[in-house]
Structure 1
Amino acid sequence: MSMSRTRVATPSASRYLQQLAKHWSHKMEVAFTPEDATITFPDGSRLEMQADNTALHLLLTVPDDSDAARMQDIVARHIDRYAFREAPLTFDWQTPGGSAVIGA
C-alpha cells in the first residue's frame, strides 16, 4: 500500500468534506460526519478526511498495483470543483517518509 497525505488550507473544510462524501456515497462505501470522512474506492484505495477551522487534512492509501498520482489528481479535482470560489487549492502531497508525490 502507498500512503500520501496533504493539508489543504481552507476555512470551508467541513463543507467540502461533506459535499465530496455525499457525492461519492452514490458509488462508493462512505462514512462521514461534519469533521471526519472515510471513502473506500472500488480498487481498494481509501481516502480519510478530517476538517478543522483552517484546513482539510487528507490521507490517501492506494494499493501497490494502483496509480497513486492518478488517485491524488482525482481527489484534488473533485475538491476543487466544490471549492470553485477558492480554487485552485494547494495540494502538496507527501509520503510518510516526507518526499513529495506527484499531485495536483
Structure 2
Amino acid sequence: MPTYAGKSQDWLNEQVVPEDERLAIKRHLREFDRLGEDLRVIERDLARSALANDDAKRLITIPGVDMTVALATTAAIGEVSRFNEPPKLVSYLEHL
C-alpha cells in the first residue's frame, strides 16, 4: 500500500491539474514509496549492526544518540582500548 494513501491521497485526487502533471505526480509518488522501502531496509540493517555492537548499544543509551550516531562514533573511534586515558579519546574526537 502506498505511503501517501488516505486523506492526502484523497485531497490530491480532488485537485484539478493537467493530465501530464497528474501522471508526473503519480510517478513521483511511486518513486517516493520505493525510496521509503529502501530506507526501511537500510534502517533495519543499521539496527542489526547497532544491536550486535556492545559499544554502540551503550552509546544509544545516551539521550539524543540514535543508532546511526552510535555506529558512526564507534567507527570513528575504532578500538577504544587504543586510548590509554579518556582525555586522549576526547581530544581525538574533537579533531575529527
Do both share a fold (TM > 0.5)?
no
More strand by share: 1
Bigger Rg over Cα: 2
Q: TM-score, normalised by structure 2?
A: 0.24
Q: TM-score, normalised by structure 1?
A: 0.23
Highest RCO, 1 vs 2 (Cα 8 Å, sep ≥ 6) = 1
